[in-house]
Chains A and B, each alone.
Chain A
Amino acid sequence: MTDSVDQAQAHDGIVIEVDAADAEAIAAETKATAVAGADERLAYQGVFQRLLIRPEVGAIIGAMAIWAFFWAVANTFGVATGFGSILDAAAPLGIMAIAVSLLMIGGEFDLSAGAATGTFGIITILLVKDVGEIGGAGLSLHIAIPLSLIVALGMGYANGTVVERTGLPSFIVTLATFFVYRGFKLGFSKLIIDNIAVGRIDDAAGTPNLSPGDEGFRANGGYGFWRPIFDGVWARNEHLLESRDAIWLVGWVVGGALVGLAIYEMNFRRAKKQNPAGALVMLGGIVGAAATIWYMHNFDGRTENMIASLAILGSALAGFGGLALWRYERQPMGNTPFTNETLTWTGAGLALIAAGILVAGALDMEAQQSVLALVDALRWPIVLVAGALAAYLGFRAVGAFENQQDALRSVVTIAAIGAAAAFFTYGFMFMTTEQGLRAMLLGGFVIAGLVTLAMAAFKAGRVSPLARFLVLTATSLMGLWLAWFIQGQSRSVKFRTEAFSVILFAACMVFVWGAVSLFFKTRAEPDHAASRLSSVTAKTGLGIIGVGMVTRLLFTTEAEQALGRTNPVNFRMSVMWFIAISVFATWLLGSTKFGSWIFAVGGNKQAARQIGVPAARTKTQLFMIVAVAAWLVGLLLAFRLNTLQSGTGNGLEFEYIIAAVVGGTALTGGYGSTFGAAIGAIIMAMSVQGIPASRWNSDWRFVFLGGILLVAVIANNFIRSKAEATR
């Protein structure tokens, strides 16, 4: 075989020595270049670009940003109670969103998914009810639950089969099913119990006070068996774990260190010869970090915190620097500090952050008055300028008028853009307080500045390692200023402590990253061993952090109980189902044959069929999966609420689709992630909880959701276009 390769290469005039026995060892670069030509190769992607390519990454970043946003504006957001109720609200939505995202990856929609949840819950309740002469089967739950599952499977099968047989868009077919469900729920409820509120599922508990033979006696129908499965509760207050906080802290430190290790391993080039002295330095850093944590745990105060910060910086430098010394290849630092371009970008980034801090410092942090009152007489000029500016930008976008018809259309468009901008500016000033404006300006300027500095660092990295180091150092110094500004100038305790520490820590890490990449070579070629190692390390690290966080959420301590600082956080079975289904669906999609087929039928059905994938069967099974998820959610709701309204679930199908799309699933099929859909559901639940917690009217949630959806689709399209970019 190798001989022929040689021959082929010789034909091209490029002769490469190939050892016949060692074909495997041919270097990827040389060989692919020789065979396929260098122009066919893709540029090597940096560590952050490679991370961004995953569909769910956008959702994870979004979830963190939204969490940070609500954490900042709402006092009751982010404590354990809040998190418990977020998960509680996310669970039914998330279970459905996961199923719907599978279906969407398979290239179809199910508009009946929302109404289906209520339908299967109501069917179960009606089967259980015993209402005398008119109806209600009065069955035991042992029969009613499997029976409703069979109905659900049948309905899913029907949806899938009709879509496949008729070739109609699933949009239309499932819209029809949606109306059927809606009618069924109302019709049967009224027919059987003459009420649109269908209750109660605990009829199945029977009549424990009566004995067999009594008037109205009913045997126990398995309620005691099924209830814990669908509505069991884990009460945090009842479960003590003294080492809870230690587990939490260790989880963060160890997990964070592993994630950091993974990022370094992914980014730097491994040296040919390892330097054991580096391992010793790294060990010193680890010991130093452990000692610092112990110190922080036992001492508190302004000076002590300063000492601890410096100690953390030192340990991080020793730890990551030692790691680099041990494993990675050295490089010359270069002596070109700046080019005009990097200087401009850096200056702009620093100026933006400085402007944010200075403007925020100038505004009154206590003022509750509307911005409209603040700008006073200037309000109309501001509105006019905003409108004119938008109209000008619109004019630039629309372009010059070629003829009269064009001119009319352009004028109308530009006028509309200007008017809309003016209207929104006024509305914004009317609704926002000075205090709010301050937070927005600070946040906006700082984020814009950080993005600019990141760009500057990227550009500087192409000039010389020294230039990148200088940009990153300036960035971390800005971080220090920001941290101290927030500590001194914030009203809220959590800003002065938690946000302060996080910013300080991040600034340290940026500096360490800059320092290490000054001396060590960034990897610019694939290294499968390193990629695999870092992937395993990162996953382990995230898992450890997750265990720490879950432990903190699930348990209480005696000290906490004694202080009365307990929160009645209850984790219901719905959350457990949600987690279990997230894990299962991620495995199903990523690791099984069926998962591959889902991507295939959604990505290119024709091709999938040609190559032997049973496309019709796969799609039908996906509709059945959605129906089973709806059945599960219906039961969760039925056991939770006992009585279901006949409108239950109607209209929620779009929320499932939004959650899936926010999680990175493409509307066109063939791309997406179930894990992302679960995160999308959590984002939506956060907005449900966070908006009232921020003391806004909860109706604004829909505006918020609309915004998230739009941003998510734009961001995901961008990510996907990178993923599928051809040639």
Chain B
Amino acid sequence: MSEQVSDTQPETPLLELNDIGKYYGNIIALRDVTTEVNAGEVTCVLGDNGAGKSTFIKILAGVHQHDEGTFKLEGDEMRFESPREALDRGIAAVYQDLAMVPLMSVWRNFFLGSEPKKGVWPVQWIDTKSAKRIAKEEMAKMGIDIRDTEQPVGTLSGGERQSVAIARAVYFGAKVLILDEPTSALGVKQSGVVLRYIVEAAKRGLGVIFITHNPAHAYPVGDRFLILNRGQSMGNFAKDEIDQGELTQLMAGGAELKELQEELSRAISGV
């Protein structure tokens, strides 16, 4: 699949990041991160806890702003002031907590914040019928059949909830879909289900950023891999430049390498 897509790759990547850095006061949260996301491809961001993955997605999603480097969306340089702005430009983030209200029905969650309306102001109501239908259809397109869109999201399994969140982002016109550790809380089987949705979303022409700390999940679906460790990029590879063993090794050996680098950088800057 990746070969096919890379053949027809557009000249400008959907998302292009060059030497992105972020500081919280004197703490360097992220430094020199470079990668790109193409339409129809999955870019995996790998790293252990505290590697800067969260900061990275928060910059992409408009929650934080980068302090260094350039962030280009479809060739235009960007600097989002709010998540809404990022959403309007087509960057949707599906966070670990999924942004769902467990006691609300599937269709209400699906359309939350952007409900289809009927009637004339001030007498307006939700177009319940089409909302339910669309929610069901969109879920079906992701390959999952929700039995009853009236059922509370809390009664869905973890994998199904992920699929609602992904389908929602896709339906509301996301060009770039950021998935924050979607498989971390799931069992083997459900993880497989979610990985399938990721491939599904990429096939529909989205650029997917898949954040994970599990190389075994990342390698089968990814087209490009960005490895982070303690706020620094450990490398940015296309799939044909690296195999799963190397990826795992890089992640595992990263910790030692990192310490060495830090000592070096301290020595160089002469502090």
Contacts and interface: CB of A to CB of B under 8 A. Distances in A.
B and A form one assembly: yes
B170 to A, nearest CB: 12
Contacts of A726: 102, 154-155
Interface in A551-592: 587, 591-592
A141 B236 CA distance: 74
Interface stretch (A29-37, A129-137, A269-277, A623-631): A29-37
Given A23-B140, A604-B100, A604-B102, A724 B200 contact: no
Interface in A657-714: 670-671
Contacts of A720: 103
B113 A37 contact: no
Contacts of A592: 124-126
A607 B99 contact: yes
A593 B83 contact: no
Contact of B152 (A1, A5, A724): A724
A441 B241 CA distance: 82
Interface stretch (A86-94, A196-204, A300-308, A595-603): A595-603
A597 B113 CA distance: 7
B44 interface: no
A47 to B, nearest CB: 15
B113 A612 contact: yes
A585 B227 CA distance: 52
Interface in A1-23: 1, 4-5, 8, 11, 23
A611 B98 CA distance: 10
A526 B147 contact: yes
B269 interface: no
Given A610-B99, A671-B103, A726-B154, A599 B143 contact: no
Nearest to A610: B99
Contacts of A593: 115, 117, 124-126
A176 interface: no
Contact of B141 (A1, A32, A724): A1
Interface residues of A, number: 44
A15 to B, nearest CB: 14
B19 interface: no
Contact of B113 (A1, A587, A611): A611
Contacts of B128: 591
A52 to B, nearest CB: 14
- Which residue among B101, B114, B144 has the maximum number of chain A CB atoms within 10 Å of its CB? B101
A42 B141 contact: no
A35 B200 CA distance: 13
B95 interface: yes
Contacts of A26: 140, 145
A725 B102 contact: no
- Which residue among A591, A593, A613 has the maximum number of chain B CB atoms within 10 Å of its CB? A593
A253 interface: no
B6 to A, nearest CB: 19
Contact of A4 (B124, B143, B157): B143
B141 A613 contact: no
Interface in A333-366: none
A603 B104 contact: yes
A608 B97 CA distance: 12
B148 A526 contact: yes
B157 A40 contact: yes
B102 A603 contact: yes
Contacts of A23: 140
A24 interface: yes
Given A4-B200, A670-B101, A725 B112 contact: no
A606 interface: yes
A514 to B, nearest CB: 29
Contacts of A36: 144, 157, 159-160, 193
Contacts of A612: 83-84, 87, 112-114
A165 interface: no
Interface in B52-101: 83-84, 87, 95, 97-101
A604 B115 contact: no
- Which residue among A36, A613, A723, A725 has the maximum number of chain B CB atoms within 10 Å of its CB? A36
Interface of A: 1, 4-5, 8, 11, 23-24, 26, 28, 31-32, 35-37, 40-42, 526, 528, 587, 591-593, 596-597, 599-600, 603-604, 606-608, 610-613, 670-671, 720, 723-727
12 contacts: A8-B143, A8-B196, A32-B145, A35-B143, A592-B124, A593-B126, A596-B115, A606-B99, A607-B101, A612-B114, A724-B154, A726-B102
Given A4-B200, A36-B157, 11 more contacts: A1-B141, A32-B145, A35-B143, A35-B193, A591-B125, A591-B128, A600-B101, A607-B97, A613-B112, A725-B154, A725-B155
